[in-house]
Amino acid sequence: MRKISVLHLASFDGNIGDNANHSGVSYLWKKYLPEYEFDITPLEMREYFWKWRQFDDDFAELVNKYDLFVCGGGNYFELWVESSPTGTSVAIPPEVLRKINTPCLFYALGLDPYMGAPDVCVDRFKQFLDYTLASPQFLVSVRNDGSPGSARRVLGDEYADRIHLMPDGGHFVQPEDHFHPELAPGSRTIGVNLAGDMLDFRFASSNGVTLEDFKQTFADVLSNVMRRLPDVNLVFYPHIHKDFAFISDFIRQFEDHFLRRRVTVAPYLHGQGAEKYFFDLYRKCALNIGTRLHTNICSVGLNVPSVGIVTHPQIRELYSYFGMPDRALGFAEEAFAERLETLVVDSLEKGEEVSARYAKVMEGVRSDAEAFLGTMKGWLDSVL
């Protein structure tokens, strides 16, 4: 086994979904790349967002101290960042990139044009790819949230054909068994995640359905389910701090007896290791419903029935990748309430069938992961 030092630029603090991703990546690398022992130093991406650090010559000098540089596990190839020299959050200027001698892996990133992809950003990102895709020093991959299709649609076949697919590590999150006071003995629990960030984007609607409409409709559906099925409770998952405000506002729609007896909220956790508790709760629920990407990624990976509420196109794209578009519902779609209630009740009553379907889907996800990790192994063997 060869030990290699790795500088990993990603988000490690503040979003439990990121921690799920890192958990799965660690599992996969140990399983499929046993020839290497990865000694990983985390470098927090948000410190660059907060302007605590800069992508400057000091960054290049830092990267060159390691055997391998990895940028992975986030939506960092979003194409709206006009202030960036690459048009994305991976804002490494060309002159700095050229000073990096260490092999660089861009791993399972989200390529996201949905908040805008102005020409200046697309052109800059193409210049970044012209450099990285042409050199054996770099390996570039995107995740299974519609990013390959976005690459083809926005960048064109010339680029898309050279960018690899690597499923998000959250599919392979490794929780540990814990006691959960959020779960009432003898009850079935529906886990619910409501993303509290980017609300103007998430709840923009072309047919007049507002955020307030959604909250009332969704609460009515959940209340109806609890009335129909007396053994069903709810637990709400806050993935980031902004989710708390949304959850607090949302649960006011419920009747008092539901709130006091059948509704709980999971703790807000973050940081490496916190996912072991948090996603154990996910896997012990009978059904998970959510608007966040990792709510849906991790549920499918854990073979727990799920329903994706589409407030971001990535959710629909994810379920299309799975071959299960029926499990994603747009919040403003016609007959949303009726369709959602039917899908929720059906999922609860046929949970074993849905779980078996997810297990079959995960065979394909694992196959895609194995394919890229084989490519990655060959690349590592050649550049290290």
213/120 Cα distance (integer angstroms): 37
- 229-242 mean pLDDT: 97
Summarised one tens digit per residue, pLDDT across range 156-180 is: 999 999 999 999 999 999 999 999 9
- 97-109 mean pLDDT: 98
Superfamily for the 188-362 domain: Glycogen Phosphorylase B; (3.40.50.2000)
How much is the pLDDT for 332?
94
Residue 271 confidence (pLDDT) above 90:
no
- 182-201 mean pLDDT: 96
- 132-147 mean pLDDT: 98
245/196 Cα distance (integer angstroms): 7
Residue 92 confidence (pLDDT) above 90:
yes
How much is the pLDDT for 196?
95
27/172 Cα distance (integer angstroms): 7
DSSP labels for 244-312? Answer: HHHHHHHGGGS-HHHHHHTEEE-----STTTHHHHHHHHHHSSEEEESSHHHHHHHHHTT--EEEEESS
The confidence band for 71, taking pLDDT boundaries of 50, 70 and 90, is very high
Same fold: 2-172+363-383 with 188-362: yes
How much is the pLDDT for 215?
96
| H-assigned helices in the chain | 16-32, 46-49, 57-63, 94-97, 119-133, 147-154, 157-160, 199-202, 211-228, 241-250, 256-261, 275-284, 293-301, 313-322, 336-349, 351-383
Residue 14 confidence (pLDDT) above 90:
no
Percentage of the residues of the chain whose pLDDT score is greater than 90: 97
The confidence band for 205, taking pLDDT boundaries of 50, 70 and 90, is confident
How much is the pLDDT for 73?
84
The domain spans of the chain are 2-172+363-383, 188-362
How much is the pLDDT for 1?
87
Count how many Cα atoms sit within 13 Å of the Cα of residue 186 in the half-sphere of its side chain: 1
How much is the pLDDT for 382?
97
How much is the pLDDT for 340?
98
Written as six digits, the tokens of 211 are: 């955020």
- 134-143 mean pLDDT: 98
The confidence band for 193, taking pLDDT boundaries of 50, 70 and 90, is very high
How much is the pLDDT for 17?
95
Summarised one tens digit per residue, pLDDT across range 300-309 is: 999 999 999 9
- 240-258 mean pLDDT: 96
Residue 96 confidence (pLDDT) above 90:
yes
CATH number of 2-172+363-383: 3.40.50
- 220-225 mean pLDDT: 98
303/314 Cα distance (integer angstroms): 20
